[in-house]
Amino acid sequence: MQTESRRQLSTADERRETVLRTAIGAFAERGYFGTTTTAVAKAAGISQAYVYRLFPNKESLFVAVVDHCFVRVRQSLEEGAAAASGTAPEVVLGAMGDAYARLISDNDLLLVQIHAQAAAVSEPAVREAVRAGYARLVEYVRGASGAGETQIQEFFAVGMLCHLVSAIDAASVDAPWTRTLTAGIRHY
């Protein structure tokens, strides 16, 4: 009896996830404005028409990528909170910050976040996605850490500083200004 190996077709949801993962790399490299759906389709090994079947336009694809990145950030913060060695807000925030520092060592995720913040200035749908993502993260950090407003603000401010320090590779420059910016910042 001969057995045939059947090619298993992926579902639309699986294809959507593949396109999202591929689009993260494409958008990280060239940003929202510099990335085409053609480039994403080519990298994903599908037609541009299929990209449009999954996402009505580039904006909706980018918003889905931004949402996906916020989910990954939330997951890393959850892992950090679960690994905290105590329940004091400072301890929980420190563990979440460490988990986030590990996460953004993935430059693609870091770059997508930076590109999303830049695109949010002029693209209302991107702005709303970034706002909603931060709203969910702030409320999660508030609930998981028990920290006060100032501590939460400082936590996010240091996160933004981590973006800058990583984006400009400040650790590779030995100068007073870089030592000031990188003091106490963890990198992986």
Give dist(CA 158, CA 33) in Å, integer. 27
Q: Is 90 exceeded by the pLDDT of residue 14?
A: no
**42 — pLDDT class (breaks 50, 70, 90):** very high
Q: Are 79 and 99 in contact (CB under 8 A)?
A: yes
Percent of the chain with pLDDT over 90: 82
Determine which of 77-86, 99-108, 117-126 has the lowest per-residue pLDDT on average: 99-108
Within its chain, how far is the Cα of 84 from the centroid? 22
**9 — pLDDT class (breaks 50, 70, 90):** low
**8 — pLDDT class (breaks 50, 70, 90):** low
Maximum alpha-carbon separation in the chain: 75
Give dist(CA 177, CA 20) in Å, integer. 37
Cut 0.75: pTM above it: yes
Spell out the residues 6+ positions from residue 1 whose beta carbon is closer than 8 angstroms to its own.
none
Question: For residue 86, how many other CB atoms are within 10 A of its CB?
Answer: 10
